[in-house]
Structure 1
Amino acid sequence: MTDAAASSPHLLTRVLLPAGTAPEAWRMLAARGMRALCDGYLAVLLPAYLLALGMGQLEVGLISTATLLGSAAATLVVGAWGHRFAPRALFITAAALMVATGLGFAGLSSFWPLLVVAFVGTLNPSSGDVSVFLPLEHARLAHAAQGEARTALFARYSVLGALCAAIGALAAGVPDLMHRWAGWDRLASMRALFAAYALMGALIWLLYRGLPMPAQGQAVAPPTPLGPSRGIVLKLAVLFSVDAFAGGLVLNALLSLWLFQRFGLSLSQAGLFFFWTGLLSAASQFAAPKVAARIGLLNTMVFTHIPANVCLMLAAVAPSLPMTLVLLFIRAALSQMDVPTRTAYVMGVVTPAERTAAASFTAVPRSLASALSPALAGWLFAFGWIGAPLLLGGALKIAYDLSLWRSFRQHPPREEGLG
Structure 2
Amino acid sequence: MRPIQPASYLFAARALRDFGDAFVAVLLPVYLLALGFAPLQVGILATASLLGSALLTIGIGFLGARHDHRRLLLAAAGLMFATGAAFVSLHDYALLLFVAFAGTVNPSAGSVSIFVPLEHAVLAREVTASERTKMFARYSLVGAIAAAFGGLAAAVPDHLAMFGLDRLGGIKVMFVLYALLGALGGTLYARIPAREMTQETKRTAALGPSRRVVFKLAALFSLDAFAGGFVVQSLLALWLFEKFNLSLSQAGTFFFWSGLLSAASYPVAAWLSRRIGLINTMVFTHIPSSIALMLAALAPTLSVALALLLVRAALSQMDVPTRSSYVMAVVTVTERAAAASFTSVPRSLAAAISPTLAGLLFAASLRAWPFLICGALKISYDLLVLVQFRHIRPPEEQP
TM-score by length of 1: 0.77
TM-superposed deviation, 1:74: 0.9
- Does the 8 Å CA contact 1:105/1:114 hold for their aligned counterparts? yes
Task: Choose the corresponding residue for 1:129, options 93, 99, 111.
Answer: 111
Distance 2:96 2:250 in 1: 26
TM-superposed deviation, 1:44: 4.0
1:117 is matched with 99
- Does the 8 Å CA contact 1:246/1:394 hold for their aligned counterparts? yes
Task: Choose the corresponding residue for 1:103, options 85, 106, 111.
Answer: 85
1:20 is matched with none
Per-residue CA distance 1:194-229 (angstroms, 9 max, x = gap): 3321211111122222332236xxxx9776432222
% identical aligned pairs: 52
Distance change (3 Å), C-alpha of 1:346 and 1:225 = same
2:20 is matched with 38
1:86 is matched with 68
Distance 1:38 1:115 in 2: 19
TM-superposed deviation, 1:153: 1.0
1:16 is matched with none
Q: Which runs of 5+ in 2 are unaligned?
A: none
Distance change (3 Å), C-alpha of 1:206 and 1:303 = same
2:125 is matched with 143
1:17 is matched with none
Task: Choose the corresponding residue for 1:407, options 361, 375, 388.
Answer: 388
Distance 2:78 2:12 in 1: 17
- Does the 8 Å CA contact 1:296/1:418 hold for their aligned counterparts? no
Distance 2:294 2:19 in 1: 28
TM-superposed deviation, 1:143: 0.8
2:174 aligned with 1:167: no
Distance 1:63 1:389 in 2: 27
Distance 1:295 1:211 in 2: 33
The SS at the match of 2:155 is helix
- Does the 8 Å CA contact 1:126/1:251 hold for their aligned counterparts? no
Per-residue CA distance 1:116-168 (angstroms, 9 max, x = gap): 33322222344642101010010111111122211111111111111211222
2:184 is matched with 203
TM-superposed deviation, 1:283: 0.7
TM-superposed deviation, 1:316: 6.5
Per-residue CA distance 1:358-395 (angstroms, 9 max, x = gap): 22222232233334456x37975996879576665454
Per-residue CA distance 1:225-262 (angstroms, 9 max, x = gap): 3222221111111111222334455556x569859996
Task: Choose the corresponding residue for 1:416, options 393, 396, 399.
Answer: 396
- Aligned letter for 2:211? R
Distance change (3 Å), C-alpha of 1:111 and 1:80 = same
2:337 aligned with 1:351: no
- Does the 8 Å CA contact 1:65/1:372 hold for their aligned counterparts? no
- Does the 8 Å CA contact 1:41/1:168 hold for their aligned counterparts? yes
Distance 2:211 2:285 in 1: 28
Aligned ranges 1:143-292 → 2 under 5 Å: 143-178=125-160, 184-214=165-195, 224-248=205-229, 254=234, 258=238, 275-292=256-273
TM-superposed deviation, 1:330: 3.5
Task: Choose the corresponding residue for 1:75, options 51, 54, 57.
Answer: 57
TM-superposed deviation, 1:42: 3.3
Point out the more displaced range, 50-59 or 189-198.
50-59
TM-score by length of 2: 0.81
TM-superposed deviation, 1:99: 1.8
Distance change (3 Å), C-alpha of 1:96 and 1:327 = farther
Distance 2:178 2:365 in 1: 33
Q: Tell me how many residue pairs correspond in the alignment.
A: 393
Distance change (3 Å), C-alpha of 1:168 and 1:386 = farther
